[in-house]
Amino acid sequence: MAQTLDTVFSALADPTRRAILAMLLEDDMAVTDVAEPFQISLAAVSKHLSILAEAGLILRERRGRVIWCKLEPDAMRSASVWMQSFGQFEPVDLDAFERFLEDELSEGEDAAT
């Protein structure tokens, strides 16, 4: 969990990882379930999850033989503050967000195809 601007921004720079975060926004998920919609190997997804965890963006917690992934959105705060300082963007537009999320999800899956 280095959680520097470097690690956070570069974690967010990959579409697969952003898609994973969007999925985790819905609910906590097991690694295998996270991997399911993507075409890449489980090992590759596992690496992505490690990068997200290293950036502090998710937590992984073993329960039995399943490892549960949980979003840790607080890790984005410093990066968000950094970005916002560059322009006084209007408060979150949820409609716009929905659209982004959908684009992102399909993008992520396409990328994995």
> Among residues 64 and 94, whose Cβ is nearest to a second copy?
94
Which amino acid appears at position 56 of this protein?
G
Helix (H, G, I), strand (E, B) or coil at 107: helix
Per the DSSP assignment, residues forming a β-bridge with 59 are 70
> Which chain residues interact with DNA by CB under 7 A?
10, 13-14, 16, 30-33, 39-44, 46-51, 60, 62, 64-68, 111-112
Residue 108 phi, psi (nearest 5): -55, -45
Residues 77-96, one symbol each (x = binds a second copy by CB under 8 A, - = not), give: xxxxxxxxxxxxx--xxx-x
Q: Which stretch binds a second copy (CB under 8 A): 30-38, 45-53, 60-68, 75-83?
A: 75-83
Q: Look up tokens 């998710």; give the residue.
A: 58
> Among residues 22 and 67, whose Cβ is nearest to DNA?
67
Q: Look up tokens 């890449």; give the residue.
A: 40
